[in-house]
Amino acid sequence: IQLTQSPSSLSASVGDRVTITCRASQGISSYLAWYQQKPGKAPKLLIYAASTLQSGVPSRFSGSGSGTDFTLTISSLQPEDFATYYCQQLNSYTFGPGTKVDIK
Amino acid sequence: EVQLVESGGGLVQPGGSLRLSCAASGFTFSSYSMNWVRQAPGKGLEWVSYISSSSSTIYYADSVKGRFTISRDNAKNSLYLQMNSLRDEDTAVYYCARDKVVRGVIFAFDIWGQGTMVTVSS
């Protein structure tokens, strides 16, 4: 199962609403997770089961979708949110190529 | 504190071998399935291998199958990755990661180590 993400990168300002899309090559029900990774750091789990917020993750992060199309939304971008975001499907564990969010 | 700490990375020549370790603490290691994930310099994440809590089920990515071996020692709270026949393209940061299991289903990797760098070069 292959995952694609769009866009591959985006520039945004603090306070912006940001949406990242992940598409699976075949249906994966809700077996999708989202991670945030900052340079030189390990990935951090944000969302699992497509829409469940991991404990301790701010509520400005949300996920939606099922089957083949999924989205990660940051409702109001904060300075600490500038990072690369990856989706992962849990049928065969593959990751998407990532979306880099940087400062406009 | 729930923690995973990798070790064993370093510089190795092509064709060589290396054994990575991941020490777990702060949780009941024997109850969790585990994974290795790698990230080549400037690239994305690549899942490498999975091992169930009892070592009864093991999976590998096609890119490492036949060359890498995952194992664990629940008595020592440790996960291992034996890497043989190393290639230039195996150069990466290697992370160990714990499965997040809800009602018997794996939904994500919820705890990650800090990573250990493996460089394959002559």
A42, A88, A95: residue with CB nearest B113: A42
**Helix or strand or coil: residue A9?**
strand
Identify any residues that bridge with B37 across adjacent strands, giving them in sequence order.
B47, B95
Which residue has tokens 């591959």?
A: A8
- Average per-residue pLDDT for chain A: 97
**Which pLDDT belongs to residue B100?**
94
Q: How far is B16 from chain A (nearest CA, A)?
A: 26
**Which pLDDT belongs to residue B6?**
98
Neighbours of B99 (CB within 10 A): 21
**Which pLDDT belongs to residue A28?**
95
Mutate to test the interface with B, among A93, A95, A99, A100 (most CBs of B within 10 A): A93
In tens, the pLDDT along B86-120 reads 999 999 999 999 999 989 898 999 999 999 999 99
Q: Model confidence at B68, in pLDDT bands (50, 70, 90)?
A: very high
Residue A103 has pLDDT above 90, yes or no: no
Average pLDDT of span A43-69: 97
Identify any residues that bridge with B25 across adjacent strands, giving them in sequence order.
B3
Q: How far is A26 from chain B (nearest CA, A)?
A: 17
Is B117 an interface residue toward A (CB < 8 Å)? no
Residue A46 in tokens: 């944000």
**Which pLDDT belongs to residue B9?**
97
3-state SS of chain B is CCEEEEECCEEECCCCCEEEEEEEECCCHHHCCEEEEEECCCCCEEEEEEECCCCCCEEECCCCCCCEEEEEEHHHCEEEEEECCCCHHHCEEEEEEEEEEECCEEEEEEEECCCEEEEECC
Distance of CA B13 to the CA centre of its chain: 20
**Which pLDDT belongs to residue A104?**
86
Is B94 an interface residue toward A (CB < 8 Å)? no
Amino acid at A82: F
**Which pLDDT belongs to residue A10?**
97
B110, B113, B115: residue with CB nearest A54: B110
In tens, the pLDDT along A11-51 reads 999 999 999 999 999 999 999 999 999 999 999 999 999 99
